[in-house]
Amino acid sequence: MDDLRLCAAAFFRNKGKDVVSEKEFLMGVSMDFRWMNHGDATKLLGLLKSEGVVTADGEYLRPGFKISSVDVPAAYRPPEGVLAMLSKPAPGKARKPAGRAKEDVFPSMVAAAESVMPKNEFVAACNALQRKLNVDVVAAAMFVLRDAGVDVEPFMERARGQLRVTPS
């Protein structure tokens, strides 16, 4: 709880405000201060709310304590304890059984694409095709790689295991 109060106090002090919107909090933690990625920032916000460290008033957040009562060190970054709290599964959510998770094939596909095009062009092409065809990004990546002249055979089994069919 003390780590969470310290984290919230550091955020509000660094922002120089005692009221922020949820969006401002998420962007501040992830983009401005670069404490963690956006997904973890969302988990942090949920944790801060559930512990009563911050209170939500409509779309605005306020600290649930006097931030002046907390001594914030210079160049504060959330400690490992806070980051570990974010990696725990949320109550009521089942964790996937160990050993059943498939390896994500997309990073391997990005690496293969870098031999024929810049990474950002490959990812942009995959995203565009994904939206256009309404398919998984891995399926779109298979088409983009094939069209770029890359042999997609090495990715077929792993991609097939990762793709899921959804009814339309």
Domain edges within the chain = 2-87, 106-162
Segments of 58-145 assigned E as strands: 60-63
**Tens digits of residue pLDDT in 18-52:** 999 999 999 999 889 989 888 899 999 999 999 99
Mean pLDDT of 54-75: 90
Q: Is the pLDDT of residue 168 over 90?
A: no
CA gap 118, 68 in Å, rounded: 49
Contact 140, 129 (CB under 8 A): yes
Mean pLDDT of 96-113: 69
Mean pLDDT of 101-108: 72
Amino acid at 94: A
Q: Is the pLDDT of residue 155 over 60?
A: yes
Mean pLDDT of 82-109: 64
* Domain 2-87 listed as CATH 1.20.1070: no
Q: For residue 4, what is the DSSP state?
A: H
CA gap 142, 108 in Å, rounded: 11
pTM to 2 decimal places? 0.53
CA gap 141, 15 in Å, rounded: 40
